[in-house]
Structure 1
Amino acid sequence: MNSFTFTQATGVEAAVQEKTSHDGSAYIGGGTNLIDLMKENVARPTHLVGLKKLPLASIDNTPEGGLRLGALATNADTAYHPEVEKRYPLLSQAILAGASPQLRNMATNGGNLMQRTRCYYFYDLATPCNKREPGSGCSAINGYNRIHAILGTSESCIATHPSDMCVALAALEAVVRVSGPEGERTIPFADFHRLPGDTPDIDNNLKKGELITGLDLPKNGFSKNFSYLKLRDRTSYAFALVSVAAALELDGNTITEARLALGGVAHKPWRDTAAEALLKGQPTTVETFARAAAKVLEGAQGYGSNTFKIELAKRAIVRALKQATEMSQPVDDNAFMNSNP
């Protein structure tokens, strides 16, 4: 770990000014990802701006009837907040599927959005990685890539975004609130994270110095018919091979509104509005769900070790939609892994 200086900010404007006035600086909240990156010398900030004293940890109702999640509210406080559990259970379920209780007690909502990929090669300084060192190459494409992306990839990178929380936020159409040198603005969640293209080192569309201050959830939380399904190698403290956030509104056995987002398959949480459109007005049958799943995976590409994810994702989508329809609780993830090579 390299040496660095540290300043504890006491206000949002002060934090932004401190960040922009120091080259090579970084914000730090819970630090559950950044500290790991620093220990591995993957991230080498020369100055840290502490955020813990900023008044950004509350969870409040919005005038529009939604809910505003403070950027510094912990993942645990968010998942167990009565309003989140009642009105946005899909989000609560997704958060609790991630990390461990100890990490959720430290990790912040803003930090969850900012966490970086868990690609093996990204963490291995001895191997080329375009995310870590632009232009050096992508070791995963022709290497061992079992955990890697099958959607939205490029010749430069096939890394995946690791968050569970963000998959639910994508499905719920959250809005990210930020503050920066140019003032405050909002970013639709679909536009926050980026696909790799030829700049995989840039994970999101934040401008220089901008700080996440909160997340706005819309009024409709799909609290009646939802499911978060996470398929992984072990049942706790593991990142998703494939995860699915499914949310439906039903009129009897007919789907009137649908949301579908995937994790573990792309450089960003993957939402397919075309597949959602296929579900609207259709009956809640396995055949309907299978057509939507096929649409989502229409352009999927495997790279060898991860090719199994294409079929796994299709099956996971069908299963998640079926669970959302029936409001059944998720069963043992590993029972679904028998088809894996």
Structure 2
Amino acid sequence: MSFYQELNDLKLDLSEYGEEPLTEGERQRWNKRVLRKLPRRRAGSRARIRLGIAAAAVAAVLTLGLAMPFGQATLARIPFVAGLIERYMNGENPPDYSPYKTAVGETAENAFGKLTLNEVLVEADRLLIGSTFEPAPGVRFNYRTHLTPRVLVNGEDLQLTRGSQSVKESDGRYTIYGDVQFRDLPGEGPLKLRIAYDTLSTPSHKTIAIEEPWVFEVEVSTDSIARDTRTIELNRTIELENGERVTLLRAIVSPVSTLVSFDATKASDSIGFKLVSAGGEEIPYREAHVFDEGDELSYVRFGPIDAEAKKYSLVPIRTLERDKAIGPAVPVEPVKPAAPLEFGKPLEPNEAIG
């Protein structure tokens, strides 16, 4: 019997997935998907596109089956669950990020249940979090529950965006993935993180404040990943086939991802890029933010590459026409010796570009 025949015969319990109306956020996301399929008309408004693996499809629901008083959240140490962040990044072929992760294995408990912070990983601009949640008796929880971390770095709120995903495990617990993006992470010393889960959201777009939140204090070193991360200056302005101009600034290449920053204020919000090797291999796309107005930089993130061993190029495209190049390709080539990453270095345009 083939794998697909086995799937056809698989019996699933769908009782917990009742029909529910879309939330306001879900309706907006579907509206955007439909609008992107239609011919575009420039309206001159600022565009912000947030496309993320896992995070884009996550909504929230929490139903309490009975009223429970909130008690003081308690902390405990338990063995951490390895490999969670790797599964989040690549479920089919999980890499090994052990040299770059910080294992925590700390559990906080309140009336909603037990939340274990398993491990964290800091890149140049973001924090990846792997946690495990065990709902308390009487608390109904499913894959649509939105449990998003709030993070302080050395006591400061440097957050730009936050995302999360919940995945049910075979033992009834849930793996909670978190992805928090920052601005200007500190460049010296270990990072002192305060990670708090203090709100839950419902399908009706209602946010529930948790009186006794799950809170974790973690100290993270960025030395290992900084040593294996390279900043490649691009500093190249290209003209697209329609006369628009885009300035590619730099690529930050880490063992986890490839982050490319660019200035799209002289182009439309439909601009995108794909990253390809000299042999034609397309590097997996992860997410993008595009700003066609204002002073914020746009960026696109791909999977990791080995820029020292292979040659790569960034090819400009339209987001709905990935197979068609709309301008010249830009090589991603490190200058020998490649400059090591400076944590905390702002992703700002080079002064010579203007």
Tell me the TM-score normalized by structure 1: 0.28
Answer with 1 or 2: which has the greater Rg.
Answer: 2
Question: Greater share of helix residues, 1 or 2?
Answer: 1
Question: Greater share of strand residues, 1 or 2?
Answer: 2
